[in-house]
A and B are shown apart, each in its own frame.
Chain A
Amino acid sequence: MPGSLAAAPARIASIAWLGAENALALGVAPVGVADAAYYRQRMAHPPLPEGVADLGPFWEPNLERLLALRPDLILVDAWSVVDGGRLAEIARVERIPAYPQGSGGWDFAIGTLRHLGGMLDREALAGQVAAAAEGRIAELRRRAEAAGAPPVYVGLLARGGRNVTLYGGPGLVGGVLERLGLSNAHAGPFSAAGTATVGLDALAREPGAVILCIDLATASGDFARSIAGNALWRSLPAVRGGRFGLLAGFYPFGGLGSAMHFAEQAVRILEARGRG
């Protein structure tokens, strides 16, 4: 078929993390990923196999290492500042689009996976993975409804605990919440990347909400410290009511795998809150 790579399995080098995650979901381990060490730290599910080469930072990947890896396909974000012409001298380059305005983050995640599946001659597998995800998220949606479907804040607390970056809008988190039938407790506005950096008092606006906080490995200690002495945090209805949970290893700019990892954890937290 046109646009597919002749020989399988393909050697994929991904400067875009989303591309690496999608490749893993399609059963193809990439030969190289930009900033592989940080990828392993932030996107633990599914884990990046041992031996995947580090391509250097995603804003300036090492072209010579990339060349030495002999990839068939290079995945790069549409917004990347890396010279596309150079990459094209190494292998075929595929740009992963930014979040489209209008259509949700969930459709975006499915779309990028299917697109890669088409390129790798794994359309059927991509279809299966997408269908499984659709089925699973429908089930999770029922469980979320059973747990009362409260509005949800999804955020990352800044060190010091005075600000929080909230996710939603056109991004992945916004799309997943929509699929789970949960409303985003933060009304926005969100940036084109689906983020909003606001003061902690933004978490007080929706008294019945549940707060889901991304847990950064490097910030766990800071997190405990910054909420220990944080009077406003302790006064938040969600915190007082125990309606609060930590999301481990979730990167909010990933693909379908990240989406499912987030959805599973979110629903588990909602259910635990219902029981507790």
Chain B
Amino acid sequence: MAEASAIRGETWPRLLLVAATLLAVALLMRRGMATLPPALWWQAVTAPAGDDIRQAVFGLALLPRAAVAVLAGAALGLAGALCQHALRNPLAEPTVLGVSAGAQLALIVATLWLPGALAWGSGPPAFAGAALAALLVLALARRGGASPAGIVLAGLVLGLYGSSLAALAVMFHRDYLTDILLWQAGALDQTGWEASAYLAPRLALGLLGAALLARPLELLGLADAGARALGLRLGLLRGASFLLAAGLAATVVAAVGVVGFVGLIAPHLARAAGARRLRQRLVWSPLAGAGLLFATDQILQAAPGLAVIPTGAASSILSLPLLLWLLRRLGASGERPVPAAEPVIRRPWPATMAACAAAALAVVAVAALFLGRGEQGWEWLPAGDAGLVLGWRWPRLLGVLSAGALVAVAGFLLQRTTGNAMASPELLGVSQGAALGVTLMAVAVPASGEAAALLAAGLGALAALAFLAGTALSGRLGAGSAERILLAGATLGNLYSGLAVLLLAMAGPRAMALLGWMSGSAAHLTPALALTAACCAALLLSAGAASRRWLAILPLGASTATGLGLPPGPGRLVLLGLAALATAVATVLVGPLSFIGLLAPRFALLAGWRRPVETMLAAAAAGALLLAVADWGGRNLIYPWSLPAGLVATVIGCPVVLWLLCRGRSAGAPGS
């Protein structure tokens, strides 16, 4: 009986795939016939008449585009299947793991600053970037002994870092804005067969590599212990298949840009269609990916009004329902105990550190209020305008300090609840929700100023919060569920970014303004906003202090917590909710503050604090300090220009975080 129903269950995915592919072929034929009489099709491909533009469009745009969709889809499907199997992670995929972002960033850097690196085309830099990102993810995963979700979180953080850097690069090379947006949105338009010729042999190599890895990988599909007993070099094998996937992803990025989520869906579709064994999946995932991307692309071109949507962005959006379904299933099976907390050791330094922090805070406050670059170089408040300038600087300082504290505490709460050191507030998807809100408003309402932007950011953040709440309430509240909520938020955040990129491409010169605004700016902090932020920070700290029992007990694991009479479910939910609210407030006020939420709790641990409330306060102080320094630096480094505080913190903070995380155990995650 079970067997029969399983086979019936396989029918729908199979039908879906076949129907999608047939539809795509039909649409392509229709498009082809509208372009050129079928009698001339063969000639258009083999020996096109130079003076017939219809033949050129058919043979140089229409067909190559379809071929690229098929090839790129297949490469991504294969990459996804390899990633998911190697990392034993149903959500693993090059876009999610930051590998595509790495390739993308390397390409941008090469284009802007190292044109020599493009001498052999965009392949080598893209591959270098992808490989670097893949190695970083692997290193992070190894160090943490990370759970599948942990690896994905590390990858998502890397991806966020990549897109922050890309935004920074574009600010100083505005001529490249459209090009970079097009890359990020994965436009499949073609003007010849070059991209197909580039993709085809590399896909073939990838398939060959997969065929070689299939058998040992299949053994890996058994339990780790069993595979180890078989004497397999487990890490090496995983690394090899992950790198192969990264290579495939880099190939696609170099050929057409970032195409999201085909790699995520295709393996699941293949599995749902009945490809149970790995070798089957390595065959069917590329086929499913090819069919999916081909169909998406053809439907987009055929649907009136949708043709302007780049295919990569569209494929991300279309995959949302499937993703939600996957997350539900993951929630049912993905329970995982949170590792026990480190022993509480009081080191001698906290008192000294607290004094240092207070002194540093005072110095930063004085500098932020009084010292800055002006028309006569460095000056101590511009003479004559002191009152007005101070009236601008104090709300900015207060707002930045509060936002830094808010994000730092949000990060602390998230890390405490999930037991994952890479749980960063950006992963909640709230920042991206706010960004999407602003972008939507900008495109829908051509003339709308900063007040409308704030409102739209708030609404976008609220929508993201509602989604998070829905995810949290729909699933069981086990240990894995906190990570699952983060994954849901982060994945949705990725989708938002895809949409925002797509909308930005339509915004004309406003795109740059929006990009600047979304990178985080403290310039629009009015006294009212700053005071609101300060109140929110104070409220958050008191709420955190009030839940210190949860903060102390949750990291000990679900069974210990229940044994102590404190079932973990409600506590997790409350703490996650606090973190999400804090992130939303900070994002709306100062923009997405990447990496403060990762860095600040880490510094608090390094300084020797272990008790929950103390650590939280220390993290808040560190976050406030970091962001204030970043804001002051951002204002003065390239006067009269300014760098968004969030970006400065990101650029400096990310390498520090990675270094700290890779350095290993001594500064383990709070609660890990």
The residues of A with any CB-CB pair to B shorter than 8 Å are 17, 35, 38, 53-60, 62-65, 67-68, 77-86, 89-90, 95, 97-99, 156, 158-163, 165, 171, 189, 191-201, 204, 207, 216-219, 229-233, 235-237, 240, 253
Contacts and interface: CB of A to CB of B under 8 A. Distances in A.
Contact of A158 (B179, B382, B453): B179
Given A60-B516, A81-B517, A191-B443, 4 more contacts: A95-B447, A160-B179, A191-B507, A240-B50
Given A85-B526, A158-B178, A197-B182, A235 B60 contact: yes
Contact of B516 (A57, A79, A84, A219): A57
A235 B56 contact: yes
Contacts of A162: 187, 189-191
20 contacts: A57-B171, A57-B642, A59-B512, A59-B513, A60-B644, A67-B382, A79-B447, A79-B448, A80-B450, A86-B392, A86-B524, A89-B388, A162-B190, A165-B178, A196-B308, A199-B189, A217-B175, A232-B57, A235-B50, A235-B60
Contacts of A218: 173, 175-176
B472 interface: no
Contacts of A89: 388, 391
Nearest to B55: A235
B321 interface: no
| Residue among A57, A77, A78, A253 facing the most chain B CB atoms (10 A cut-off) | A57
Interface residues of B, number: 66
Interface of B: 48, 50-51, 53, 56-57, 60-62, 65, 111, 171, 173-176, 178-179, 182, 187, 189-192, 194, 305, 307-308, 372, 374-375, 382, 385, 388-389, 391-392, 442-443, 446-450, 453, 505-510, 512-517, 521, 523-524, 526, 639-642, 644
Nearest to A217: B175
Contact of A192 (B443, B516, B640): B443
B179 A193 contact: no
A82 B450 contact: yes
Contacts of B526: 83, 85-86
Most chain A CB within a 10 A radius of its CB, from B182, B513, B517:
B513
Contacts of B174: 35, 38
A83 B175 contact: no
B506 A197 contact: yes
Contacts of B447: 78-79, 95, 97-98
A60 B523 contact: yes
Nearest to A201: B61
Contacts of A200: 61, 189, 191
A195 B182 CA distance: 14
Nearest to B510: A79
A83 B48 CA distance: 57
A163 B187 contact: yes
B396 to A, nearest CB: 10
Contact of A193 (B60, B307, B506, B642): B506
A207 B56 CA distance: 12
Nearest to B438: A81
Given A59-B512, A159-B179, A240 B642 contact: no
